Amino acid sequence: MPELFAGLFLGLIMGIISGLIPGIHANTMAGFLLSFQAAVLLILGPEAMAVSLFSALVTHTFLDIIPSTVFGIPDADTAITVLPAHNFVLKGRGSEAVRLSAVGGLYSVIFSMPLIILFFTLLPLFQDYIDWWIGILLIAVAGVLALSSESPEWFTAVFLTSGILGVFTFNYPYPAAGIAGASGILMPLLTGLFGISVLLFSSGGVMPEQVNNSGLGRDSPILKCSLAGTVAGAVVGWLPGLSNASANAVLASFINYDEDGGGFIVATGAANTANAFLGLAALYALSRTRNGIMVAISLIDLPPMMLLAAFGALAALAAYLITFFLAGRMGIFKGLNVRNVGITVIIFCVILSFILTGPYGLFILALATAVGVVPSIINVRRVSCMGAIMLPVILWSLELM
């Protein structure tokens, strides 16, 4: 038992680091830990190592909202969430945005526990049918988003253009030559579509004072949005080829982030955490890995599933408290020049893309930024850029790619 809690503590540290550093995913920290696999296994044992890996993933789902909120830098989990969360910061409600996401994540742990057992015991019986319907589901979601947009024609054009870019990126990731290589190619793709392209249109002025409120949401139905996010995250956590970004796109078809930004933040926070827990169930039930963390866990002797789920819940509680605490410190950004911060973040993203993926990553970043500025120019919702994730999955599901 002491080794398991040591693994939990190690996972918390890794998740905090990966969550707070823009562009770094928990998968990166998993790779770092696996490089010392022999020593960690010798000291802690396989069960504690699995606990540390899963705890890092769960912790990351709570902490990664902070750089997305403050600086507008997306990762694969927070791409669409950047938009309402960063707007909260510019209105002096940054701590509220962070805490809303944490509340959604904590509720999703409660909702996910029975879903883990249900999915593990029931869904494998219907998996062949489920796999085929992924593409149909995403086509329906894309259709709802297009028809509910300001201009269905322009929305469809942006969706398909970003989708073609996504297909190209996923089919040809191999020229990426940085330290992350092909596995890091999502970083420049999503940063261009949802990060730099937004920052290029940021206004001037200074960061306003951040109100340190409770973050329980004065106009957002917490339980309803948490449940919706949990269901979306659970579905994509189970289905192959889908990611947190896909879950957030599905949520955007039901919750308008322009009209109910707080509710959308709660829902996406819940989806990201639920995705981690149901991805664990998929590993044990189907031997399918949904991310680098699950790949790393599958390489060692698997402990009981509910043991990992229980320690993941403890990690979620600790990460929730840490996130709430850090949200109260967001006043340190008061008075920063918004334009200068945006320029600094753009430079950081360019450098990080080069370090992670080399010159090819900069090429993808430039293309993604060019596509990402279009929604601002023609005034359609930026969720149209989720075609970069959704179209490749649709084609894969229908066996067209």
- Do the domain assignments include residue 153? yes
What is the rounded average pLDDT of the residues 13-17?
89
CB 251 within 8 A of CB 266: no
User: Which residues on neighbouring strands pair with residue 35, listed in sequence order?
Assistant: none
- The CA distances from residue 208 to 68, 70, 330, in Å, are 17, 12, 11
CA distance linking residue 11 with residue 313, whole number of Å: 12
Question: Is it the case that residue 218 has pLDDT exceeding 60?
Answer: no
What is the pLDDT, as a whole number, of residue 339?
Answer: 77
Question: Is it the case that residue 215 has pLDDT exceeding 60?
Answer: no
193 contact partners, CB below 8 Å, separation of at least 6: 79, 162, 368, 369, 371, 372, 382, 385, 388
The larger pLDDT score, comparing residue 200 to residue 273, is at: 273
CB neighbour class for 356 (10 Å; exposed up to 12, middle 13-18, buried from 19): buried
CA distance linking residue 326 with residue 330, whole number of Å: 7
112 contact partners, CB below 8 Å, separation of at least 6: 230, 234, 273, 274, 277, 278
What is the pLDDT, as a whole number, of residue 80?
Answer: 61
What is the pLDDT, as a whole number, of residue 29?
Answer: 62
- Do the domain assignments include residue 215? no
The larger pLDDT score, comparing residue 156 to residue 249, is at: 156
What is the pLDDT, as a whole number, of residue 196?
Answer: 84
CB 182 within 8 A of CB 176: yes
What is the pLDDT, as a whole number, of residue 153?
Answer: 92
What is the rounded average pLDDT of the residues 167-183?
84
- Do the domain assignments include residue 371? yes
Question: Is it the case that residue 76 has pLDDT exceeding 60?
Answer: no
The larger pLDDT score, comparing residue 70 to residue 118, is at: 118
CB neighbour class for 127 (10 Å; exposed up to 12, middle 13-18, buried from 19): middle
- The CA distances from residue 24 to 76, 80, 121, 165, in Å, are 10, 17, 34, 22
CA distance linking residue 18 with residue 312, whole number of Å: 16
CA distance linking residue 160 with residue 154, whole number of Å: 10
Count Cα neighbours of 123 within 13 Å in the Cβ-side half-sphere.
20
Domain boundaries, position 238: 2-207+220-397
Q: Give the length of the chain.
A: 401
The larger pLDDT score, comparing residue 175 to residue 221, is at: 175
Top mean pLDDT of 22-26, 162-166, 213-217, 377-381 is at 162-166
What is the pLDDT, as a whole number, of residue 389?
Answer: 82
- Do the domain assignments include residue 252? yes
What is the rounded average pLDDT of the residues 324-347?
81
What is the pLDDT, as a whole number, of residue 248?
Answer: 66
State the amino acid at position 66 in one-letter form. I
What is the rounded average pLDDT of the residues 43-67?
89
- Do the domain assignments include residue 292? yes
What is the rounded average pLDDT of the residues 247-276?
77
- Do the domain assignments include residue 213? no
CB 23 within 8 A of CB 77: no
- Do the domain assignments include residue 131? yes
- Do the domain assignments include residue 212? no
Please state the pTM of the whole predicted model.
Answer: 0.78
CA distance linking residue 401 with residue 398, whole number of Å: 8
CB 85 within 8 A of CB 65: yes
What is the pLDDT, as a whole number, of residue 259?
Answer: 63
CA distance linking residue 287 with residue 289, whole number of Å: 7
152 contact partners, CB below 8 Å, separation of at least 6: 146
What are 288's two structure tokens? 């399918």
Question: Is it the case that residue 228 has pLDDT exceeding 70?
Answer: yes
What are 319's two structure tokens? 């990460």
Number of domains composing the chain: 1
CB 119 within 8 A of CB 233: no
Question: Is it the case that residue 242 has pLDDT exceeding 80?
Answer: no
